[in-house]
Amino acid sequence: MSPQDVAINMDNNSSNNNHNHGTTNNGMMGYTSDIETASQSPVEGDVCFPTPNKREEGGIDFDALEEFISQEKKEIAESRRTDSTHTAASGMPRRRRLSTVDNGRRYSLYGDRMLNAADKIDTDLYRVSFYSTAEITTVHSRSISEIPEYNDHETLSSMLKKGCFWIDIHNPTDAEMRALAKAFHIHPLTIEDICMEEQREKCEVFLNYYFICFRSFDQDEFSTTYLQPSALYIIVLKEGVLTFHFKCMPHPHNVRKRIKQLKDYINVTPDWICYGLMDDITDSFAPLIRAIEFEVDSIDELVLILKESEQSDMLRRIGYCRKRMMGLLRLLSSKSDVVKTLVKRGEIAPADGTRPALSKEVALYLGDVQDHLISMVSSLNHYEKISSRSHSNYLAQISIEMTQTNNEINDVLSKLTALGSILVPMNLVTGAWGMNVQVPGQYQEDLTWFAGIITTILIFCVISTILMRYYNIV
């Protein structure tokens, strides 16, 4: 049997499976993820096919890219016609929705939290940013197909051919990922890592690109997810850079602003854009580490001099500070290895020239980023030791204060016990002479017995006090 026959049979099986999996036994539609992958064969949905050979990997497939853009434009036009019909019928305007966005990501490796965040896509926001060294300004659009609309009589393919480009996409959809994978020859494993929001930081080298996962964090202090990690996925091609992220982050804007300021002094290349993103993410940790340094120094100085009434929130401050340090250490611990791997593998230029080679200047800059990361991790470890010592000192201080309080209580109790030891015998004597029975001296009319009893009690009290003072009981 020839390979062509195998391919035909696989397609036939795919069409049959599409019919079977499209509905359930009850006649209801199946899961959307099943419908979405129904266009692929069952084997293709379960395994990763081998990557094409080197001859098929060269360059960008502009035909596939333009085909996706034309298809997306048709869907946008159809959506606009539907909106106009709805407006004419009901009199209420409806927000335009892209079908490619409506079919957004429905799965995530890390549960419903990221899934819900990814599904809330506002199509009126500009999700896609296009930068090129040949363009005057950065193009911001709602979808990839809208990028050429800002340049009359031009296609996206012609814009990509002009020079080094950078496409940044916020909340990419499945359709966009499939189209970009086909156009830029991106490996299925890379697409899977991006779509599943893989959080492990790494640097992988493929036949025609570098794939880098570099984590940042939510920098909004008023957000409920403040300091929570958010990954930035960078694909460095020979012709340009593709970046993807599923949370709003300021790093792409900061890098474009930096490029605008330094465009007369630097040569903007894909590896430099990658360096700029990694450097900006690294610099975003500096204010937090500086704030932690001030907080740790303050806690270390105050933990031993504050009075008991002023230490009510000290344990809370120590715990919150250590929690922030652990979160930053979690984000920074693996970044140095990523930069080191990129420098090590990027210095090896490919023989066929399909993969971009890392320039010596960018390698030097990346070494500086690595130094900053190592310094930050070292500083955090040092602050963690100081916080641990402050925590121990605080607990020791509390223990000392509790011991002092217990000693004071014991001293008071010992004095009360001594007083009771004196008063109990006196009570016994006075009680014995106060009973309604015959006692010595009952029928004598003088005060001899009374004076004798009072004198005996006073002598006993004095002797007891002297003995207790002699033994330091009171």
pLDDT in tens, 11-56: 444 444 444 444 434 443 333 333 343 344 444 444 444 445 544 4
Q: What share of the chain is helix, strand, coil (3-state, %, to 5)?
A: 60, 10, 30
State whether residue 166 is helix, strand or coil: strand
Do both 163 and 218 map to the same domain? yes
- Asked whether residue 269 is domain-assigned, the answer is yes
Alpha-carbon distance 252 to 285, whole Å? Answer: 16
Is the confidence at residue 102, as pLDDT, over 50?
no
- Asked whether residue 391 is domain-assigned, the answer is no
- Asked whether residue 82 is domain-assigned, the answer is yes
The CATH number of the domain holding residue 92 is: 3.30.460.20
Q: Which of 365, 377, 381 is nearest to 331 (CA)?
A: 377
Polymer length in residues for the chain: 474
pLDDT of residue 150: 79
Tell me the pLDDT band of 73, cut-offs 50, 70 and 90.
Answer: confident
Do both 29 and 85 map to the same domain? no
Q: How many CB atoms lie within 10 A of CB 269?
A: 21
Do both 228 and 264 map to the same domain? yes
Do both 231 and 169 map to the same domain? yes
pLDDT of residue 91: 57
Do both 86 and 162 map to the same domain? yes
State whether residue 81 is helix, strand or coil: helix
**pTM, full prediction:** 0.73
Q: Which of 160, 140, 164 is nearest to 150 (CA)?
A: 140
Do both 124 and 8 map to the same domain? no
Token digits for 172?
Answer: 């990419």
Q: What confidence tens digit (pLDDT) does each residue in 209-234 have?
A: 999 999 999 988 888 888 899 999 99
Do both 198 and 261 map to the same domain? yes
- Counted domains in the chain: 3
- Asked whether residue 343 is domain-assigned, the answer is no
Alpha-carbon distance 426 to 405, whole Å? Answer: 32
pLDDT of residue 249: 92
Structural domain of 442: 412-470
